[in-house]
Every structure is written in C-alpha cells, then in structure tokens.
Homo-oligomer: A and B are copies of this chain.
Amino acid sequence: MGKTGDTGDGDKPLRADARRNRARVLDVAQEMFLAEGMAVPIDAIAERAGVGVGTVYRHFPTKEALFEAIMQQRIGSMITMAEDLADADDPGAAFFDYFTHIVGQAESSKGVHEALVNAGFQLEESVGALAAQMRDAMGTLLKRAQQAGAVRPDLTAVDAKALMAGVAEMRKLGGDPEATLAVVIAGMRPHQ
C-alpha cells in the first residue's frame, strides 16, 4: 500500500525530462479533472500535456490513481481549512462559513463534487483515510457550533457532509444557489 506513483519527493531521483513531464501531466490533469470530473479520457490529458499515454501510465499506474493524486491535495486543503477554523472566535460563523465555502468549491468543480459524492468510483485506498480525516475535522467544527447553540444538536458530521454534497448537487439543477443554500443553512439552525 502506498505506491501511488510517489508525490515527486524522496524515493528515486527522476530524470530531468521525467520530472518535467510528470509535473506537466499533473498540472493538466488537475485542470481537466477538476473541470470535468473523472470523465475526461486519459488520451485527452496526455495530448493536452504534450506527451504520450505511455508517459502518463509510467507515472500513475492507473487512471484512478491519477485522479486520487489530485483529489488528495484538494481534500487535503479542505481539511486544513477546517482545522484552521477550529478555534475561531465565533464557532457558529466558522461552521457556516466553512459549509458555504466547500459548497462553492464543489459547485465550480465537477471533480471536487465527484470526490465529495464519490460518484461512480471507490477511491478507498488513499482518499478513504482523508475522507475520514475530513469528517473528523468537520466534526470538531460542528460540535463547537452546536455547543454554542448555533446548530441543532441532533446533526452528525456525516449528516453535515451529506448536506454539503446535496447542496452542491442542487446547484446543478437550476435552483437558485443562494436560495437553496439559505434553506439548508436555515434548516441546520436550532428550532426555536
């Protein structure tokens, strides 16, 4: 476990051209995956990166591996943000800000949305752990918001994650982004 293709650091010093190509593939893949999701063909990525498919496969054993490599850093940054907000002054605002931010990111990126929804693929291996980590980080945010009385107490971190993905989904259906988000946020507040 852990042979995703090396993040580019330690294992074996790649040859100059190899490193260059690897970076270019990663760049292009990031852009295309985030925009279009897992649907983009490998060939398209290779062509756009100016390399052959063989080159892509030498660096990443499988399409899924490449997708994961990208999603890992995306999800990683989401986790970081959650952790940064963990000791904010206003726990309620922190939680809702986070919620809004993630939803916005997922809206503009089919790739992030897919990662959130886990549509059509498993992504167990590496991303699974990250997903759990994110759920925990968000759990902290949520718990603090609940203790501050800003969020209804019966909500779990898993529910909150589902709500985020659900709102992201709504935006693809023509519903007014502000309206749907407002509904869900209002619904997460405690009944009064």
Residues of chain A touching chain B, judged by Cβ–Cβ distance below 8 Å, are 117-118, 152, 154-156, 158-159, 161-163, 165-167, 169-176, 179-180, 182-188, 191-192
Q: Are A183 and B184 neighbours in the complex by a CB distance under 8 Å?
A: yes
Q: Are A161 and B175 neighbours in the complex by a CB distance under 8 Å?
A: yes
Query: Across the interface, which residues of B come within 8 angstroms of A163, CB to CB?
Result: 170, 175, 180, 183
CB distance from A95 to the nearest CB of B (A): 14
Query: Across the interface, which residues of B come within 8 angstroms of A179, CB to CB?
Result: 154-156, 159
Query: Across the interface, which residues of B come within 8 angstroms of A173, CB to CB?
Result: 117-118, 158, 161-162, 165-166
Number of copies of this chain in the oligomer? 2
Pick the contact of A159 from B158, B162, B180, B185 — CB < 8 Å? B180
Query: Across the interface, which residues of B come within 8 angstroms of A166, CB to CB?
Result: 166-167, 169-170, 173, 175, 180
Complex-state Cα separation, A170 to B103, whole angstroms: 14
Q: Which residue of B lies closest to A39 (CB)?
A: B120
The 8 closest A-B pairs by CB, nearest first: A187-B187, A162-B175, A183-B187, A166-B170, A166-B166, A162-B170, A162-B173, A186-B187
Q: Which residue of B lies closest to A190 (CB)?
A: B186
Query: Across the interface, which residues of B come within 8 angstroms of A169, CB to CB?
Result: 117, 165-166, 169
CB distance from A100 to the nearest CB of B (A): 14
Complex-state Cα separation, A137 to B52, whole angstroms: 53
Complex-state Cα separation, A167 to B180, whole angstroms: 11
Query: Across the interface, which residues of B come within 8 angstroms of A118, CB to CB?
Result: 173
On whether A180 and B162 interact (CB within 8 A), knowing A117-B173, A185-B187, A186-B187, the answer reads yes
CB distance from A11 to the nearest CB of B (A): 35
Query: Across the interface, which residues of B come within 8 angstroms of A161, CB to CB?
Result: 173, 175
Complex-state Cα separation, A180 to B184, whole angstroms: 9
Query: Across the interface, which residues of B come within 8 angstroms of A165, CB to CB?
Result: 169-170, 173
Complex-state Cα separation, A136 to B37, whole angstroms: 33
